[in-house]
Amino acid sequence: MHPLDKALELERSGDDRWCGRTIPEWANMVGPFGGITAAVMVRAVELHPQRHGQPIALTVNYVAPIADGAFDIVTRVVRTNRSNQHWIVELSQDGEVKTTATAVFGLRREGWSDTEITAPQAPAPEGIEPSAPPFGVAWFDNYDMRFVDGGMPDAGDEPTASPSSTTSLWVRNNPSRPMDFVALAAVSDIFYPRVFLRHGQFVPAGTVSITVYFHADDEQLAAQGDDYVLGTARAHKFSGGYFDQTAQLFGRTGTLLSTSHQFVYFKA
């Protein structure tokens, strides 16, 4: 079983309730990789018999670190109308809430469309060397990452501050796996904290809240297959121990697949 699908295995434990378990392949410095937690929240709604449509938007709030082991998820549909459906999702361990989320699912309809944002200029991923993470974090092994610019600082080098917080990279699942909504939710959190790049070194940091907007439909995800996606991320402001981080993910042909925005705690 693919590591992503293994992490997304949920068993129904009652009305609106599911149980799952963390796996070591997605371990981060503290708890699991935030992207896999976001994907689990999406999967819990996807599995619900009352689910209506496909993911449109997801906001995940990381309330407390998730410990290794079992967890419980409660899903609650708040409202369903013709176009969309609103959900509240909670992940807990031993009765303590660790993650909350709101999700919007909806039906997409044919109509006028246009994309104002364009993908950054980048050479093909096949001509870029895969990146090796500078520290031992298990979840990095689940992705083939090839940095175009703004690569992760090397812990062995002298810190070199950067005037820009922008990173662009090609990324796909490792081993390869076709793109779907849960995989898109996970990879939307692929970018390391922008404060690392600005300071040229690692500092304590962690995502507090992330919102992902799913622009791709089923047809576009099917066309994406297991190919690389081109991602770019940057911050807008660092202040008071927090910064924001915005990102976009594009297919190789320039199709905008998702956008995301997150707020991150840091100490520097």
Burial of 17: CB neighbours in 10 Å, binned 0-12, 13-18, 19+: middle
- The Cα-based distances of 250 to 3, 50, 147, 217, 229 in angstroms read 23, 31, 15, 13, 6
Q: What is the rounded CA–CA span in Å between residue 11 and residue 65?
A: 22
Q: What is the rounded CA–CA span in Å between residue 116 and residue 126?
A: 27
How much is the pTM? 0.95
- Whole-number pLDDT of residue 154: 81
Asked whether the predicted pLDDT for residue 134 surpasses 70, the reply is no
End-to-end CA distance of the chain: 40
- Domain 3-107+123-266: give its CATH code: 2.40.160.210
Average pLDDT over residues 191-204: 94
Q: How far is CA 94 from the centre of its chain?
A: 25
Model confidence band, residue 132 (pLDDT cutoffs 50, 70, 90): confident
Residue spans of the domains in the chain: they are 3-107+123-266
Beta bridge partners of 233: 167, 247
| Mean pLDDT of the chain, nearest integer | 95
Residue 72 structure tokens = 């419980």
